[in-house]
Amino acid sequence: MSDLPLVQADRAVPPPVATTTTGGRGRRLRLLSRTDRVVIALMVLVPLLLVVALVWLPALATVALSATDWDGIGPVSEIEFVGGRNYSDVVNIYPPFVPAVQNNLLWLAALFVVATPFGMFLAVLLDKELRGTRFYQTALYLPVVLSLALIGFVWQLIYSRDQGLLNGVFGSDVDWYGDPDVNIWAVLVAAGWRHVGYIMLLYLAGLKGVDPSLREAAAVDGASETSTFFRVVFPVMRPINIIVLVVTVIESLRAFDLVWVINKGRNGLELISALVTANVVGEASRIGFGSALATIMLVVSLVFITVYLATVMREDRR
């Protein structure tokens, strides 16, 4: 049995039954002392209150504000209700919205098709116990650890049109950040650079947890390296695969920092999250309009959450 709680590689062994307050009815509850019950109640209540106060209330407030044209100044009682006008404005007359949706989708596709598989590939390679494997792990994981400001600075040095490394080395004069046809790809390279390291580490941890006897059995049966991976290791890694998938979706939905550092999400680098920030935070203070954008983002996320939850629940029932 693996010592990684995340990876239940051997499905034959049932996972430990979670002890919940509702799980054991009647008789079992009485086994708990008064203190136990107080502690359990607190342990449930405190996180619940935090989640409600910090996640649900702001989310609901956002939805409510999206139907107003509040500018962030003055008492709440003066807020004017405008119905669905913000939404129709977003769709009909706000030029950055459509590029933002396209870019978010492109982001998802690029991470899903290129960065995530590449990260998994690197993990498989590193799992071969090469010499200096820790060095490679550290080097590949480093971008995930670096601060956002530093990453923006590093890529500015590389991509700057007049003074950058890329144009300096190749003698080209591509406007990496300014040309709206090019800059999204330049940023995706930078984003992928971070994402690969993250996925690599997650996946490597999963691979280390795979029961080696499975591979030995496959080898005894005469399976090749490739078919061992795809037919034995990969299916056994299902829980990790799901986590990697979810991480990829999350990363592409909340992609924000790089484009914000580069040009505040304008001129070819529009992302919904950047538009929300540009409208809500800062001097603009179009809180109603920005909330409408945030609500749209929430709905898009809900689609993914629903799909994910449905899959997981169907899994649990089986």
Partner 1 sequence: MSRPRSQAEYLARLVPPSVAGLRRRSLLAGAAGSGALLGTGLLAGCGGDDSGGSGSKTVSLGSNQSDPKPKEVIAKVVDGFQTSSGLQVSVNTVDHNTYQENINNYLQGKPDDVFMWFAGYRMRFFAGRGLAGDLSDVWGKLSGMSDAFKKASTGDDGKQYLVPSSYYPWALFYRKSVWQQNGYQVPKTLDELTALSAEMKKDGLVPIAFADKDGWPAMGTFDILNLRINGYQFHVDLMAGKEAWTSDKVKKVFDTWRGLLPLHQPDSLGRTWQEAAQSLQQKKSGMYLLGLFVAQQFNNDEQDDLDFFTFPEIDPSIGAKALDAPIDGYMMARRPKEEANAKKLLEYVGSKAAADITVKNDPSTLVANGEADTSGYTALQKKAAELVGSATEIAQFLDRDTRPDFASTVMIPALQQFIKDPTDIDGLTNSIENQKKSIFTD
Residues 138-167 that bind partner 1 (CB under 8 A): 141, 159-163
CB-wise, 24 or 89, nearer to partner 1? 89
Helix residue ranges, H only, the chain? 27-31, 34-51, 57-65, 85-93, 97-110, 116-126, 133-145, 148-159, 165-170, 183-208, 212-220, 225-228, 234-236, 238-253, 257-263, 272-280, 287-317
**266 near partner 1, rule: CB under 8 A:** yes
Chain residues 75-114 in contact with partner 1, contact rule CB under 8 A: 85, 89, 92-96
CB-wise, 37 or 56, nearer to partner 1? 56
**267 near partner 1, rule: CB under 8 A:** yes
Which of 21, 228, 241, 285 binds partner 1 (CB under 8 A)? It is 285
**74 near partner 1, rule: CB under 8 A:** yes
**73 near partner 1, rule: CB under 8 A:** yes
**71 near partner 1, rule: CB under 8 A:** yes
Binding flags for partner 1, 200-239, as an x/- string (CB under 8 A):
-xx-xx--xx--x---------------------------
CB-wise, 115 or 210, nearer to partner 1? 210
Give Cβ neighbours of residue 206 (< 8 Å, ≥ 6 apart). 4, 6, 7, 123, 237, 239, 240
What does the alpha-carbon distance between residue 293 and residue 299 come to, in Å, rounded to a whole number? 10
CB-wise, 17 or 73, nearer to partner 1? 73
Chain residues 39-58 in contact with partner 1, contact rule CB under 8 A: 51, 54-56, 58
What does the alpha-carbon distance between residue 270 and residue 189 come to, in Å, rounded to a whole number? 16
**252 near partner 1, rule: CB under 8 A:** no
**72 near partner 1, rule: CB under 8 A:** yes
Reported as half-sphere exposure (CB side, CA atoms, 13 A), residue 44 has a value of 9
Q: Which residue has the tokens 């914000």?
A: 260
Enumerate the β-bridge partners of residue 81: 68
CA distances (Å), origin 147, targets 99, 152, 154, 195: 28, 9, 11, 14
Q: Measured from the CB of residue 230, what is the shortest distance to partner 1 in angstroms?
A: 21
What does the alpha-carbon distance between residue 163 and residue 231 come to, in Å, rounded to a whole number? 50
Which of 19, 77, 171, 173 binds partner 1 (CB under 8 A)? It is 173
**308 near partner 1, rule: CB under 8 A:** yes
Chain residues 10-39 in contact with partner 1, contact rule CB under 8 A: none
Which of 249, 258, 271, 292 binds partner 1 (CB under 8 A)? It is 249
Enumerate the β-bridge partners of residue 282: none
What does the alpha-carbon distance between residue 248 and residue 31 come to, in Å, rounded to a whole number? 43
